[in-house]
A and B are shown apart, each in its own frame.
Chain A
Amino acid sequence: MPLNREFIGREYPASTSYEVGREHVRRFAEAIGDTSPASLDLEAALALGHPDVVAPPTFLTVLNFRFAAEGPIADPALGLDYALVVHGEQSFELHRPVCAGDVLSSVQTVTDIKDAGRNELIVTTTEVSDAAGEPVATLRSSLVSRGTAAPRPDRQEAS
Chain B
Amino acid sequence: MTEVGTELPPVTFTITRADLVRYCGASGDFNIIHWNERTAKAVGLPDVIAHGMYTMALAGRVVSQWAGDPAAVESYTVRFSRPVVVPDDDAGATLQVSGLVEELREDGRAVVALTATVAGNKVLMAARAVVRLP
Chain A residues proximal to chain B, CB less than 8 Å: 24, 27-28, 30-34, 36, 38-39, 48, 50, 54-58, 61-62, 65-66, 68, 82-94, 97, 146-147
Q: Which residues of A contact B73 (CB under 8 A)?
A: 57, 94
Q: Which of A33, A48, A68 contacts B69 (CB 8 A)?
A: A48
A87-B80, A146-B43 as given contacts; A50 in contact with B71, CB under 8 Å: yes
In the complex, B57 has a CB within 8 A of chain A: yes
Whether the Cβ atoms of B70 and A55 lie closer than 8 Å is yes
Whether the Cβ atoms of B28 and A62 lie closer than 8 Å is yes
In the complex, B74 has a CB within 8 A of chain A: yes
Whether the Cβ atoms of B43 and A90 lie closer than 8 Å is no
Q: Which residues of B contact A87 (CB under 8 A)?
A: 51-53, 80
Convert B7-46 into 0s and 1s, putting 1 for each residue whose CB lies closer than 8 angstroms to a CB of A: 0000001000001001101111111110000010011100
A36-B65, A62-B28 as given contacts; A90 in contact with B78, CB under 8 Å: yes
A-B contact count (CB 8 A): 120
A-side interface mostly: mixed
Q: Which residues of A contact B79 (CB under 8 A)?
A: 88-89
Chain B residues proximal to chain A, CB less than 8 Å: 13, 19, 22-23, 25-33, 39, 42-44, 49, 51-54, 56-58, 60-61, 63-65, 69-71, 73-80, 83, 129
- Other than the given A31-B23, A32-B61, A38-B71, 8 more pairs (CB < 8 A) read A36-B65, A38-B69, A54-B70, A56-B57, A57-B129, A62-B28, A90-B52, A91-B75
Whether the Cβ atoms of B78 and A89 lie closer than 8 Å is yes
Least CB separation from B126: chain A residue: A89
Q: Which residues of A contact B76 (CB under 8 A)?
A: 57-58, 91-92, 94
A31-B26, A34-B70, A36-B65 as given contacts; A92 in contact with B77, CB under 8 Å: yes
Shortest Cβ distance from residue B65 to the other chain A in the assembled complex, whole angstroms: 7
Whether the Cβ atoms of A38 and B29 lie closer than 8 Å is no
Q: Which residues of B contact A65 (CB under 8 A)?
A: 27-30
What are 29 A-B contacts defined by CB distance under 8 Å?
Answer: A27-B26, A30-B26, A31-B23, A31-B25, A31-B26, A32-B54, A32-B57, A32-B60, A34-B57, A34-B64, A34-B70, A39-B70, A48-B69, A56-B70, A57-B73, A57-B129, A58-B56, A58-B76, A65-B27, A65-B29, A65-B30, A68-B28, A86-B33, A90-B56, A91-B76, A91-B78, A97-B71, A146-B43, A146-B44
Distance of A32 Cα from B28 Cα, bound (Å): 13
Q: Which residues of B contact A91 (CB under 8 A)?
A: 75-78
Q: Which of A33, A62, A93 contacts B75 (CB 8 A)?
A: A93
Whether the Cβ atoms of A83 and B70 lie closer than 8 Å is no
Q: Which residues of B contact A50 (CB under 8 A)?
A: 71
Shortest Cβ distance from residue A51 to the other chain B in the assembled complex, whole angstroms: 11
